[in-house]
């Protein structure tokens, strides 16, 4: 028994040593990394109903801005980011096998359909309800890319780590813009806290947190980062006091992980320049409302005759 345990221990130690050596080798293999590694593409939508979306995103230079914001990160290879059609599936993902990020028109269309008609009670302007979720989805997927390409260890769920990377990037922006981004992104997760939610156990088995959990996690990190700027969220009951109590330490833990694991992969002077800029459109900017598709064009398999 004792011999077996010792043997097992030796195997474990050997495995850890090997893993460490492999990780070190992988790190060496991925060097040198360089900045400005994001490539972008707006693919032509397959669904004619998404053409307005395509035109708006191109005109607003959404991907060019994402590319510039992510330019300070050193990466070992080019990472393409594309907006593309996904055959009706509302999806956004980092494709590990190809080391690329894709965000579907169908996903962005859902963001659009969820837009408030006017500024909401917690202060989310319609334009922020677009920009916040867009920033969040690109930053989240980029979090997966960073973790993958730099072999960054993750204790806990990969999806939570990607959410944390996204929140930290939003919080690096100018304070007022960070607030607008966070609130806009939180709106996307759940714009209605009053609704009672019922779950089947299997609904809780996903790799992502539920929208409500992601909402509270995001607000908690924001409040933990800046109790003055986000204090009203607790006062108004959007973030329950029981959770808020420990948000400062939750943020400090996330900031520590970010500083140790992510920051070394950023060019600091370029990052100061990029994150020191102002990115948000004017808060009063009314987002274009997309025309409702004709019933006949809703079928993606119908070839366009125009
Ligand atoms: Zn993810």
Of 4-8, 202-206, 207-211, least confident by mean pLDDT is 4-8
pLDDT of residue 299: 44
Q: How far is the CA of 184 from the centre of ligand 1 (A)?
A: 18
Q: How far is the CA of 94 from the centre of ligand 1 (A)?
A: 7
Of 102-106, 172-176, 255-259, 296-300, least confident by mean pLDDT is 296-300
> How would DSSP label each residue in 142-168?
HHHHHHHHTT---SS-HHHHHHHHHHH
Instruction: Kindly report, residue by residue over 266-281, the tens digit of the pLDDT.
Output: 999 999 999 999 999 9
Q: Which residues contact 258 (CB under 8 A, 6 or more apart)?
A: 164, 165, 168
Q: How far is the CA of 93 from the centre of ligand 1 (A)?
A: 6
Average pLDDT, the chain: 87
Q: How far is the CA of 141 from the centre of ligand 1 (A)?
A: 6
Which residue, chain included where needed, has tokens 């204090």?
231
pLDDT of residue 79: 98
- Measured in Å, how far apart are the chain's first and last C-alpha atoms? 77
How large is the average pLDDT for residues 82-88?
Answer: 97
Distance CA 133, CA 274 (A): 20
Q: How far is the CA of 2 from the centre of ligand 1 (A)?
A: 43
Q: How far is the CA of 234 from the centre of ligand 1 (A)?
A: 27
Token readout for 29 is 């293999």
Q: How far is the CA of 14 from the centre of ligand 1 (A)?
A: 32
Q: How far is the CA of 284 from the centre of ligand 1 (A)?
A: 31
Q: How far is the CA of 6 from the centre of ligand 1 (A)?
A: 39
Q: Which residues contact 136 (CB under 8 A, 6 or more apart)?
A: 166, 170, 181, 185, 188
More confident residue, 140 or 290: 140
Distance CA 228, CA 156 (A): 30
State yes or no: pLDDT of 1 exceeds 60.
no
Q: How far is the CA of 161 from the centre of ligand 1 (A)?
A: 9
295 — pLDDT class (breaks 50, 70, 90): low
Q: How far is the CA of 3 from the centre of ligand 1 (A)?
A: 43
Residues 230/223, Cβ–Cβ less than 8 Å: yes
Q: For residues 281, 282, 285 and 291, what is the CA-based torsion angle, rounded to 10 degrees?
A: 10
Q: How far is the CA of 259 from the centre of ligand 1 (A)?
A: 21
Q: How far is the CA of 221 from the centre of ligand 1 (A)?
A: 18
Q: How far is the CA of 9 from the centre of ligand 1 (A)?
A: 35
Distance CA 77, CA 66 (A): 17
Instruction: Kindly report, residue by residue over 54-71, the tens digit of the pLDDT.
Output: 999 999 999 999 999 999
How large is the average pLDDT for residues 175-194?
Answer: 90
Listed residue (97, 43, 31, 41) closest to 64, CA to CA = 41
> What share of the chain in percent tops pLDDT 70?
85
Q: How far is the CA of 140 from the centre of ligand 1 (A)?
A: 6
Q: How far is the CA of 294 from the centre of ligand 1 (A)?
A: 33
Instruction: Kindly report, residue by residue over 97-149, the tens digit of the pLDDT.
Output: 999 999 999 999 999 999 999 999 888 999 999 999 999 999 999 999 999 99
Distance CA 150, CA 143 (A): 11
Peptide bond into 32 cis (omega under 30): yes
Q: How far is the CA of 146 from the centre of ligand 1 (A)?
A: 12
Domain boundaries, the chain: 31-288
208 — pLDDT class (breaks 50, 70, 90): confident
Q: How far is the CA of 156 from the centre of ligand 1 (A)?
A: 13
Q: How far is the CA of 256 from the centre of ligand 1 (A)?
A: 21
Q: How far is the CA of 137 from the centre of ligand 1 (A)?
A: 9
State yes or no: pLDDT of 82 exceeds 70.
yes
């Amino acid at each position: 028994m004792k011999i077996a345990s010792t043997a097992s221990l030796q195997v474990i130690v050997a495995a850890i040593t090997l893993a460490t050596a492999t990780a070190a080798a992988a790190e060496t293999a991925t060097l040198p990394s360089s900045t400005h590694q994001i490539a972008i593409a707006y693919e032509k939508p397959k669904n004619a109903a998404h053409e307005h979306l395509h035109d708006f995103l191109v005109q607003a230079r959404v991907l060019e801005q994402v590319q510039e914001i992510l330019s300070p990160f050193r990466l070992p290879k080019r990472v393409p980011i594309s907006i593309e059609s996904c055959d009706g599936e509302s999806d956004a993902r980092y494709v590990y096998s190809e080391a690329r990020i894709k965000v579907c028109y169908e996903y962005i269309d859902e963001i659009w359909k969820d837009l408030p008609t006017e500024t909401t009670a917690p202060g989310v302007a319609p334009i922020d309800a677009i920009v916040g979720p867009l920033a969040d989805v690109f930053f989240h997927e980029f979090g997966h890319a960073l973790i993958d390409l730099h072999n960054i260890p993750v204790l806990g769920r990969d999806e939570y780590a990607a959410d944390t990377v996204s929140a930290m990037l939003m919080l690096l922006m100018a304070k007022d813009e960070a607030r607008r981004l966070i609130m806009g992104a939180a709106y996307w997760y759940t714009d209605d806290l009053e609704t009672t939610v019922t779950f089947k156990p299997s609904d809780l088995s996903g790799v992502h947190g539920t929208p409500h959990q992601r909402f509270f996690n995001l607000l908690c990190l924001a409040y933990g980062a800046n109790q003055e700027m986000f204090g009203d969220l607790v006062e108004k009951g959007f973030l329950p006091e029981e959770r808020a109590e420990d948000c400062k330490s939750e943020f400090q833990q996330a900031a520590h992980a970010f500083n140790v694991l992510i920051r070394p992969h950023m060019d600091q002077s370029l990052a100061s320049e990029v994150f020191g800029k102002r990115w948000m459109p004017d808060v009063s900017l009314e987002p274009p409302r997309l025309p409702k598709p004709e019933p006949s064009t809703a079928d993606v398999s119908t070839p366009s005759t125009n």
